[in-house]
Amino acid sequence: MTDDLRPVTAEDITVAARASFAGAPDGRLRFLLQHLVEHLHGYAREVRLTAAEWEAAIAFLTETGRACTDRRQEFILLSDALGLSMLVDVLQHPAPPGATESTVLGPFHVEGSPLRPMGSSTVDQDGSGEPAFVSGTVRGTGGQPVAGALLDVWQNAANQLYAVQDPGQPPGNLRGRFRTGADGAFAFWSVRPVDYRIPDDGPVGRMLAATGRHPWRPAHLHIIVSAPGYRTVTTHFFDRTSPHLAGDAVFGVKPSLVGDFVPHRPDEPGAPEGWDGTWYSFERDVVLAPAGG
Q: Average pLDDT for residues 88-103, to the nearest whole number?
A: 94
pLDDT in tens, 112-128: 999 999 999 999 999 99
Which residue, of 29, 49, 69, is where some domain finishes? Answer: 49
Over 60: is that where the pLDDT of 1 sits?
no
Question: Does a structural domain hold residue 64?
Answer: no
Question: Does a structural domain hold residue 44?
Answer: yes
Question: Does a structural domain hold residue 17?
Answer: yes
Assess whether 163 and 234 both reside in one domain. yes
Assess whether 116 and 27 both reside in one domain. no
Residue 12 banded pLDDT, cuts 50, 70, 90: very high
Q: Measure the CA–CA gap between 26 and 125, rounded to whole angstroms.
A: 49
Q: Average pLDDT for residues 79-102, to the nearest whole number?
A: 95
DSSP string, 228-240: TTB--EEEEEEET
Residue 70 banded pLDDT, cuts 50, 70, 90: confident
Assess whether 20 and 162 both reside in one domain. no
Q: What angle do CA 127, 281, 197 make, to 5 degrees?
A: 50
Cβ atoms of 136 and 129 within 8 Å: the answer is no
pLDDT in tens, 14-54: 999 999 999 999 999 999 999 999 999 999 999 999 999 99
Assess whether 118 and 33 both reside in one domain. no
Over 80: is that where the pLDDT of 2 sits?
no
CA proximity to 39, closest of 28, 50, 47: 47
Question: Does a structural domain hold residue 229?
Answer: yes
SS in 3 state form for 168-224? CCCCCCCEEEEECCCCCEEEEEEECCCCEECCCCCHHHHHHHHCCCCCEECCEEEEE
Question: Does a structural domain hold residue 84?
Answer: no
CA–CA distances in Å: residue 293 to residues 22, 245, 266, 290: 34, 30, 45, 5
Q: Measure the CA–CA gap between 103 and 223, rounded to whole angstroms.
A: 10
Assess whether 157 and 260 both reside in one domain. yes
Assess whether 246 and 182 both reside in one domain. yes
Over 70: is that where the pLDDT of 4 sits?
no
Assess whether 146 and 28 both reside in one domain. no
Cβ atoms of 17 and 30 within 8 Å: the answer is no
Assess whether 190 and 281 both reside in one domain. yes
Which residue, of 14, 34, 49, is where some domain finishes? Answer: 49
Cβ neighbourhood burial of 277 (10 Å; 0-12, 13-18, 19+)? exposed
Assess whether 156 and 32 both reside in one domain. no
Over 70: is that where the pLDDT of 64 sits?
yes
Over 90: is that where the pLDDT of 6 sits?
no
Q: Measure the CA–CA gap between 142 and 146, rounded to whole angstroms.
A: 11
Spell 24-57 as b/e; 16+ CB within 10 A means b: eeeeeeeeebbeebeeebeebeeeeeeeeeeeee
**Residue 247's domain is classified under what CATH number?**
2.60.130.10
Assess whether 202 and 104 both reside in one domain. yes
Question: Does a structural domain hold residue 66?
Answer: no
Conformational region of residue 48, where left means phi above 0, alpha means psi within -120 to 50, and beta covers everything else:
left
Q: Measured over all CA atoms, what is the biggest interatomic distance in the chain, rounded to whole angstroms?
A: 93
Q: For helices 74-81 and 203-210, what crossing angle results, to 10°?
A: 20
pTM for this entry: 0.90
Cβ atoms of 195 and 250 within 8 Å: the answer is no
Question: Does a structural domain hold residue 203?
Answer: yes
Residues constituting the chain: 293
* Average model confidence (pLDDT) across the chain: 96
Q: Average pLDDT for residues 252-278, to the nearest whole number?
A: 96
Assess whether 18 and 113 both reside in one domain. no
Domain range holding 6?
A: 2-49
Q: Average pLDDT for residues 163-182, to the nearest whole number?
A: 96
Over 90: is that where the pLDDT of 293 sits?
no
Question: Does a structural domain hold residue 32?
Answer: yes
Q: How many domains does the chain have?
A: 2
Assess whether 136 and 267 both reside in one domain. yes
